[in-house]
Amino acid sequence: MPSVAIIGAGCSGLAAAHTLHDAGHTVVLFEQSAHVGGRATTHTREGFTYDSGAQYIKRGSSASISLITERFRAPDLIDIHKPVWIFDGQGHIQEGDPVQNAEPKWCYRSGLITLAKRMAEGLDIRLETPIVRIQQNPSGWSLFAPSNQPLGNFERLLITIPAPEALDLISSSQIDSDLQQTIHTHLGQAHYNPLLSVMLGYQPQPRSRPYYALVNTDKAHAISWLAWEHEKTPERAPHNTGLLIAQMAPQYSHDHWETPNEHIFHDVAARVATLISEDLPEPIFTDIQRWPYALPTTQANANVLNASTLPHGLAFCGDTFVGGRVHLALENGIIVSREVVSG
């Protein structure tokens, strides 16, 4: 069977890798960071455990459900039982959609990255291996690391990284000019918002609420999402402490991208205290995660793009085409990799 290289070991790339491996292909994943999972990641620092990107996994199609609850089920899989409530630009809080809140909100006691780690088992993954150039040749595709170091030749190539990064890669590569222009045309339709994810640890624990998290629905508040991370499981925070995660709105994130962390912590903590009407003490723990390509506001069309690239042994999948939900990334990876198999 043809050999396949996958650039990016996020959830979409991992799902694609297993689909291709199941079909008998030799698969190698290349990931520029030190861990798998992309935005479905978890950090543990100073006794706090938190998901700094994606917050939980929604119920999707049977394909993603079976991956989460059967094939890659982990013993610490949990459903966050408390609901998500909503708030507006004026800070008015009210109950959320009962239908959506009735759906499972899957996570893991040890953090969301557990799913990616389980999926990574048994796969050939080259971590901390950025791909800076690809080259189209008669037999497929050649991949190169920095300093023009060759990383191998593959008959098929699947690119799963965000559209802006994919476009930079395509621009620096040796590809048929017509194919290159087609890729630019379609990937250029995708646009991303930046995201500042701010972690604030408190002692004593902030007051318990009837909800696990708040989401801004009118996009008129500086805070887009506020979650009581320690509500997922008690192990998320040391005794008598709590951790709030504030994910900031696109405009706030853009305006404060270069702002020093300490200024952001002070400003966000004040906004959080005002929103929930609680006299919070100074945080005992702070952290920040900057996601330049957090959520695509405009998606590219994977079907149209891959119809043009698959005849050349090249395909694309990931949140560029489906948005920022973990289950959608899994499903897109499965769908596109099946097209690679059939092609």
Q: Write down the residue that tokens 């890659």 correspond to.
A: 72
In the chain, where are the structural domains located? 3-38+117-191+297-342, 43-112+192-296
Say which CATH architecture domain 43-112+192-296 belongs to. Answer: Alpha-Beta Complex (3.90)
* Residue 1 clears pLDDT 80, i.e. is over it: no
pTM: 0.96
Across the range 222-227, mean pLDDT stands at 98
* Cα–Cα distance measured from residue 4 to residue 17, given in angstroms and rounded to the nearest whole number: 9
> Is residue 234 very low, low, confident or very high in pLDDT (cuts 50, 70, 90)?
very high
- Paired residues of 8 in beta bridges: none
pLDDT digits (tens, 9 = 90+) for 20-40: 999 999 999 999 999 999 999
**Protein fold of 3-38+117-191+297-342:** FAD/NAD(P)-binding domain (3.50.50)
Question: Closest Cα partner for 140 from 158, 151, 155, 152?
Answer: 155
pLDDT tens-digit series, residues 130-165? 999 999 999 999 999 999 999 999 999 999 999 999
220, 76 in Cβ contact below 8 A?
no
Task: List, for residues 239-293, the tens digit of each pLDDT value.
Answer: 999 999 999 999 999 999 999 999 999 999 999 999 999 999 999 999 999 999 9
Q: What is the pLDDT of residue 2?
A: 86
pLDDT value for 220 = 98
